[in-house]
Every structure is written in C-alpha cells, then in structure tokens.
A = this chain, B = another copy of it.
Amino acid sequence: MTHLNDCRALDTTDPLRSLRAHFHIPPSTVYLDGNSLGLMPIAATARAAQVVQQEWGESLIRSWNAAGWFDLPQRLGARIAALIGAAPEEVVAADTTSVNLFKVLSAAIRIAQHADPKRRVIVSERSNFPTDLYIAQGLCQTHGCRLELVEAAGIVPSLGPEVAVLMLTHVNYRTGAMHDMAGLTAAAHASGALVVWDLAHSAGAVPVDLRGADADFAVGCGYKYLNGGPGAPAFLWVHQRHSGRTDLPFMQPLSGWWGHAAPFAFDSTYHPAPGIAQFLCGTQPIVSMSLLECGLDVFTAAQALGGMAAIRRKSLALTDLFIALVQERCAGHGLALVTPLAHAQRGSQVSWTLERAEIGAAYAVMQALIARGVIGDFRAGDGLAQPDILRFGFTPLYMGFEDVWHAAEQLRDVLASGAWRAPQFRNKNAVT
C-alpha cells in the first residue's frame, strides 16, 4: 500500500519541484485539467500589463519592430521547436490548431498528389480529436479526396497505394494512449504516404522527436501543456524538405500577407516567403501570443533541471502513482483504466470509465470531484463503442505527488460516500 508520507517524500526529491513556484495555483485546488487549459504562469500578469500599457498604449505601431511583435511567430516557434525535436527555423506559432491543420494538410495532399495523382485518401483514426476529422472532411470536399477512418490496429494495414496522407494525433485526447511516432511514420513513408502529426496532447508533456522520426508535418496547441493562456495561438512544423520547395507555389492555400516574401512591399502578386514563414497568413493576436512566451519561459527554466527527459520521468511517476492509488483505494467501485499501463504507450493523462454504473454516473462523479477542488474533466461517450470518460491530466511542471494522493483520496470518498448522487452534480448543462 502507498501512504501519504510516501507521496510527500516523492515531492521532496522531485528535481522539478521548484518549477511549481512559476504558476498560480488557486487555493484548495488540485488541478488535473492542464490538458484542457494550463495554469497561469505568474509572470503572465506583469507581461499582460507590459504589452497592453507599454507596447500598445505608449509605443503603438513602433512596437511592431521595437517590441518584436512582427517576429513573434518565429521567435516563439524556435522555442517550441526545442520541445518537439525540430530545427528552430522550422516552427511558427500562429492562428489556431484547426487553421494550422488546414494549412499543413493542404500542403501534404498537394505534395503527395503532385508525386502521384492517384493518391486521394487521407487515413486517420476514428477516435482522433473531432476537429482534425472535420478539417480533413472540409479539405476532402475541395480536393476530391476521401477520409478513411480506422481503429489504431488498422492504421498500418490501411496504408495502401491510394493513401496520400496519414493524419494522426500523437496522444489520444480521450484515452491518453500514445502512438509510436517513429514506427508509424516509417510505415507511412514505406507505403509512399506523408504524415501529419497533431501534438495537442504531446508538446510540453512527452518528449517528441519530429526530426528523429523523420516526420513531414505537425501542428499543436499553445494553451494545454504549454500553458499559454485561453485560446493561445497554436503552432505548426514543416520539415524543410517540404517548406524549402520552390516548385509548388500556394503550397498552403491560406496565402495571406504575413506569408509573403516581402509583406511590406505591398506587391499585388503573392510570392511565398522562403521556408516556414510561408505558412503564416494574417496579423496575429499579439497580446495572447505574448502570454504564450510566459508559458515557454518555464520550459527554459526546466532545461537546467533535466528538460523534457526529466519532465517525462516525472509524468510517468505521477501517472503511475495515480493509477496505483486509485486501484488500491477505489477498488470495488467499477473504475476501469482506459489509459495504457505500458509507459511507451502512455501520454501524460489517466482516463477511467465507470463500469456497471447508471447512465450519467461518470459525469456526476466528476462534478462532485470538482466541487471538492479536484479539477479533472468529463468526456461523454457516444453511447456505443465509446464509453463516458473521467479524464485526469498531469502537468509535470506544476503537479506534486501529494496532489495525486489527494485526488485519489477525494475520488475514493466521492464514490464510497455516494456524494456524487446529489442532484446538483447531475445537471449537464454546464460544459467544463
């Protein structure tokens, strides 16, 4: 059996423990929803005031150069690159994950079909995050393609000669299961397909090596494990073998002026910028983007403490501990682990279903937990193959091992006491 003192001992020897002080943790809160919206870095308060009052209010348009506004997509991109195994000049921060996916998926289809016009299929996983599937469905309309959805085990068998692009999310948003990026990329390339990775639940949470995997394209999110603030700009990565091509103008169709080779020449004809900059489009939301830098600053501080390798070790220790505690202390209440036990297949979250429970029980259990300050979230199933899920994200930068104890303890108490049956926890109108 694991005891509270064991958890406290883990905190005292945690090499990343000092990073917790970079974040504002609301009182009496165990925050297990950093995979939805990361905590606020304390520095964000002063940074917001600086950007709004000084850079905007006082310096106005001069800040496009003097405060580096115009280069923010590249400057933040280079810092994100260090977390995902990319070259610094291959990443930009901009727009939303959905819009960025549209850009890179368009480019991937264009490049694949340029090499072989018969390739008209996008393969993805049925349980991929819906917006990824929606964006692919939209592109299929204009590009005459077809989206083929398979289960995880069906990915490699699906890679036939008609497949243009394999589009996958590295860590599944519901289950926390992590794909073998290098293996699947190699399999796709062997079949002649290109690969697009969505790193929404990976970047900042698990080590990613896009260059090592020889992947083609990636997108990711700024407001989850990167702690960039609500709706923070997203990012995208393109391997230089693609972004360096000059034979495919309009490689991505969102050909706005920030992607032009000379945006301030006000030329009436579009000429894409060389490299990754051609994947920019319009003027970026500078205040939101500036706050993303505060999130990235914590990763710079983490670098001296072991970087992504240390973050990964702690992530696995946290999720191992949570799984063990829940299995020890909540036995008999029907919780079934959805997230893989094997480390190589686990992201930085733990998901459970509630077996043999009445309809709506999982939702009510999560509401009861949130009322006690343990903030995870609930993802509804489809009533068929997909069950309702209790989802707990673990951000190693600010989570402690004692937090994990309290989360498991509250979960035990909510289940054992039947507290979740109270009427106030059963109203589904609120989306959390």
Contacts and interface: CB of A to CB of B under 8 A. Distances in A.
Chain A interface residue bracket vs B? 35 or more
Copies per assembly = 2
B44 A282 contact: no
Interface stretch (A223-231, A307-315, A329-337, A338-346): A223-231
Given A24-B57, A130-B266, A231-B285, A291 B65 contact: no
A64 B135 contact: no
Nearest to A233: B285
Contact of A62 (B126, B133, B287, B432): B432
Given A223-B283, A282-B96, A291 B131 contact: no
B97 A282 contact: yes
A190 to B, nearest CB: 27
B53 A45 contact: yes
A77 to B, nearest CB: 16
Of the listed residues A69, A96, A149, A380, the one surrounded by the most CB atoms of chain B closer than 10 A to its CB is A96
A202 interface: no
A137 interface: yes
A61 B256 contact: no
A48 interface: yes
A51 to B, nearest CB: 8
Contacts of A37: 56, 60-61
Interface string A246-274: 00011001111111100011111110000
Most buried by B among A65, A97, A149, A230: A230
Interface in A169-220: none
A153 interface: no
A142 B270 CA distance: 15
A158 interface: no
A98 B265 contact: no
Interface string A43-77: 01100110111011110111111000110000000
A386 to B, nearest CB: 8
A425 to B, nearest CB: 15
Given A61-B33, A430-B65, A287 B287 contact: yes
Contact of A142 (B60, B253, B260): B253
Contact of A281 (B63, B96, B260, B265): B96
A284 interface: yes
A313 B253 CA distance: 41
A8 interface: no
A379 interface: yes
A142 B143 contact: yes
B287 A48 contact: yes
B255 A138 contact: yes
A131 to B, nearest CB: 4
Interface of A: 24, 26, 31, 33, 36-37, 39-40, 44-45, 48-49, 51-53, 55-58, 60-65, 69-70, 95-99, 102, 106, 126, 128, 130-131, 133-135, 137-139, 141-143, 149, 223, 229-234, 249-250, 253-260, 264-270, 281-289, 291, 375, 377, 379-380, 382, 430-432
For the complex of A and B, the 10 pairs showing the least CB-CB separation, nearest first, are A96-B282, A98-B256, A98-B282, A285-B288, A138-B255, A131-B257, A230-B286, A40-B57, A134-B270, A285-B285
8 contacts: A45-B53, A96-B283, A99-B99, A138-B253, A141-B253, A264-B431, A266-B382, A285-B287
